[in-house]
A and B are shown apart, each in its own frame.
Chain A
């Protein structure tokens, strides 16, 4: 009986430890969509793969153009319940989008410059370049702003997209 108790305890201990280490090592990357949304989202790679896919072109550091695929911010906003399209008027024009990356780099877009009723430019949250997962140090998720002259907002390792009101 003592042996049985010991065996069960040992089993629980080992599985417990295994589960814990797997959890911290695997640390699956997600993108949190928060702020002025009706449904806050925590998007995983699988979530993004299941959403409508959009392709956008952008140049890399060396000036070579690449094809990036992911989900348009517009479609993420639709899922999260953000004031877009016909709702993007009045005080909603004072909203902005704060993108935060793993290294704490942050960039801002106005909500209007991401909206297809204002512009044809489709900004995406990319998870693939040339059909392959993004490189380490860049992925798993990055922003691609097609046609932007300076690539500083094509930021890497996105962890958060927050829709906010300018309050000043």
Chain B
């Protein structure tokens, strides 16, 4: 079911109605297929797609497919504003289902997935902080701090490469790292499977999410719990963590008028106003305030952390880190890959006055001659930018019961 109207220009002329994409996931592939990484093409929001018009309906599978003629998981009806665009990332072998998302939610908050049953994904990704943890570095099950700051999970649906250095292609690959890192949750997926099987209370949820029975006789009861399914379910849940109900969204939908200060900040950020444009949107562009790119934003000239270079081996990637969304940015302090900046005013001070030069400094922070070009913000401009950044806080996202700990034992 698609209700979509074209957005010629964000934030204008939208009073006629809201545009939301409501899509149903087609089930292609089946349980037991290896991760496809980032190549998956989702069916969500595709007009005329095979499951258009029947979100949430019972799913009986494609003719001849592995689920043919058999009731299976119910496609999860993803809903997001059309101005977010459909460049979403759902692997073909892990479509979202209601049952898969529900299981993923339980697993996200399941402390038994850590070596000493003290830490879950939700320990370092707290809903009330837009799924960050308020610390410079997170603390694993054994008390060891992580090397980088915990990233927000909001709108991960539109991200294709995870971590600050983009080394994990897709949420499935991402989830494996904190689960199995010797200092984060510290438990192999095989051990997690054994612990969950021993509980007994997860058998039905895994079967419901990923099928069982005649299709896969090995997947009955406890055997339905597998390492791949643990990460797939968590990834499914994380893909539903969509934040799209901030005052800025209501502005984009024509339902909210910015205060003069917010308007000034918006125009400084995106341009288009009578004053200057700061170019923030070069990296934090569009309604999602995110382009998925890697930049050295001038924190250092000499890097303790090589960033993206550690993945590519290329000198020109030294000190580059993934651009993060600014959605809920007021909630996700401290800032930067190492959490060195405690407050948003400190972040603005950084861009205003402290851009460090170096061969890999982002071209967006250089002048025509290639020199570092700090923004030199006035006190008034900082105030306006802060006002605008605060309109990105989505209070319903951080209280949405669908995303909270289900507290099922």
Contact = CB atoms under 8 A, between A and B. Distances in A.
6 contacts: A102-B294, A102-B317, A103-B320, A136-B359, A137-B316, A157-B316
Interface in B352-392: 359-363, 366-370
Nearest to A152: B282
Interface of B: 161, 166, 291-295, 312-317, 320, 359-363, 366-370
A156 to B, nearest CB: 6
A93 B226 CA distance: 46
Given A25-B315, A27-B312, A137-B361, A64 B370 contact: no
A102 B319 CA distance: 13
A104 B370 CA distance: 21
A99 to B, nearest CB: 14
Contacts of B369: 62
Contact of B370 (A24, A105, A135, A157): A135
A137 B363 contact: yes
Contacts of B362: 103, 137
B313 A105 contact: no
B366 A137 contact: yes
A139 to B, nearest CB: 9
Contacts of B363: 137-138, 156
A64 B368 contact: yes
Contacts of A136: 316, 359-360
Interface residues of A, number: 19
Interface of A: 23-25, 27, 29, 60-62, 64, 102-105, 135-138, 156-157
Greatest chain B CB density within 10 A among A25, A103, A138 is at: A103
Given A61-B368, A137-B370, A102 B359 contact: no
B368 A102 contact: no
A42 B119 CA distance: 45
Nearest to B363: A137
A61 B366 CA distance: 10
B360 A60 contact: no
A23 B368 CA distance: 33
A126 B367 CA distance: 21
A23 to B, nearest CB: 8
Contacts of A157: 316
A60 B294 contact: no
A104 B292 contact: yes
B315 A27 contact: yes
A135 B320 CA distance: 17
A136 B294 CA distance: 16
A81 B127 CA distance: 51
Contacts of B370: 135, 137
Contact of B314 (A23, A60, A62, A102): A102
A24 B368 contact: no
Given A137-B359, A137-B361, A105 B291 contact: yes
B100 to A, nearest CB: 27
Contacts of B320: 103
B361 A102 contact: no
A136 to B, nearest CB: 4
A59 to B, nearest CB: 10
Given A102-B294, A103-B362, 18 more contacts: A24-B313, A27-B313, A27-B315, A29-B314, A29-B316, A61-B368, A102-B312, A104-B161, A104-B166, A104-B292, A104-B293, A105-B291, A105-B293, A137-B316, A137-B360, A137-B363, A137-B366, A157-B316
A135 B366 CA distance: 12
Q: Which 3 A-B pairs have the closest CB atoms?
A: A62-B368, A136-B359, A27-B313
Given A25-B315, A27-B314, A105-B291, A60 B368 contact: yes
